[in-house]
């Protein structure tokens, strides 16, 4: 019986340990990050985004509809097995936090399939884990000095200021797009209504005249 050669056995063992190491690496929640994207969702369309997340990572998905129709969209978040973690229909704004229960590809979709002709602009912010540390070797044994921890807390406070600014900007964009819509609608409506007014009043007069001009034989009482 030909046995496996020494090299082959070594390769097999290396392969086994390599697999285990990679699996372990995937398990360790690495430095995460945030993806903030604004995109346009056409009518009757669905767009999905995917991200590979390690187990135990705390993630937050936040979305807001900026322009379009009634400013609502369907959103759905699924874990690697297809189980639906979050599903909401016709929502304008929402924020959902979850901890990844298993490794794999998480998928979230935005759907505008209920709308027939309005396309929507959707903003979402998907935060996975913590932000990457400032220094590659952040896992230090010594504690932070007072200055450094003050810097860290200022950094966190400024991050929340920037976050609030983003939310404010999105709401203001919504209000501004409504105001601009209103402006164009008022312009079109006023011109259109003036035209209709003229057409109707002139038409009335000629119609009335036509009642009296043809019927000479039948007498028509006018106001008696």
Partner 1 sequence: MAGVGLGPLRAMGRQALVLLALCATGARGLYFHIGETEKRCFIEEIPDETMVIGNYRTQMWDKQKEVFLPSTPGLGMHVEVKDPDGKVVLSRQYGSEGRFTFTSHTPGDHQICLHSNSTRMALFAGGKLRVHLDIQVGEHANNYPEIAAKDKLTELQLRARQLLDQVEQIQKEQDYQRYREERFRLTSESTNQRVLWWSIAQTVILILTGIWQMRHLKSFFEAKKLV
Binding to partner 1 (CB under 8 A) within 144-203 occurs at 147-148, 151-152, 154-155, 158-159, 161-162, 165, 168-169, 172-173, 175-176, 179-180, 182-183, 186-187, 190, 193-194, 197-198, 201-202
Q: Report 16-45 residues binding partner 1 (CB under 8 A).
A: 16, 18-19, 22-23, 25-26, 30-33, 35-40
Closer residue to partner 1 in complex, CB, 72/106? 106
- CA torsion 167-168-170-173 (nearest 10°) is 180
- For residue 18, give the H/E element and its range: helix 6-27
Q: Which residues pair with 156 in a beta bridge?
A: none
Under a CB-based contact definition with an 8 Å cutoff, are residues 98 and 11 in contact?
A: no
Instruction: For residue 208, state whether it binds partner 1 (rule: CB under 8 A).
Output: yes
Stretch that binds partner 1, among 2-10, 68-76, 83-91, 111-119 (CB under 8 A): 2-10
- Cα separation, 195 vs 203, in Å, equals 12
Least distance (Å) from partner 1 to the CB of residue 56?
13
Task: In whole angstroms, give the CA distance from residue 104 to residue 72.
Answer: 29
| CA distance linking residue 217 with residue 215, whole number of Å | 6
The count of residues interacting with partner 1 (CB under 8 A) is 75
Q: State yes or no: residue 6 binds partner 1 (CB under 8 A).
A: no
């Amino acid at each position: 019986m030909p046995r496996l050669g020494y090299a082959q056995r070594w390769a097999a063992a290396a392969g086994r340990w390599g697999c285990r190491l990679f699996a372990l690496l995937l398990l360790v929640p690495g430095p995460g990050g945030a993806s903030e994207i604004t995109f346009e969702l056409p009518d009757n369309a669905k767009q999905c985004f995917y991200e590979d997340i390690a187990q135990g990572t705390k993630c937050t998905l936040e979305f807001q509809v900026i322009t379009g129709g009634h400013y609502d969209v369907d959103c759905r978040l699924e874990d690697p097995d297809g189980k639906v973690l979050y599903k909401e229909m016709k929502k304008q704004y929402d924020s959902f936090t979850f901890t990844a229960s298993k490794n794999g590809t998480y998928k979230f979709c935005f759907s505008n399939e209920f709308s027939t002709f309005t396309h929507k602009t959707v903003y979402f912010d998907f935060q996975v884990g913590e932000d990457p540390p400032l220094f590659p070797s952040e896992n230090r044994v010594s504690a932070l000095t007072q200055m450094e921890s003050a810097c860290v807390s200022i950094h966190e406070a400024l991050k929340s200021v920037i976050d609030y600014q983003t939310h404010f900007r999105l709401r203001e964009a919504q209000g501004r797009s409504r105001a601009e819509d209103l402006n164009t609608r008022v312009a079109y409506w006023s011109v259109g209504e003036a035209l209709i007014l003229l057409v109707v009043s002139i038409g009335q007069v000629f119609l009335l005249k036509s009642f009296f001009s043809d019927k000479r034989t039948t007498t028509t009482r006018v106001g008696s």
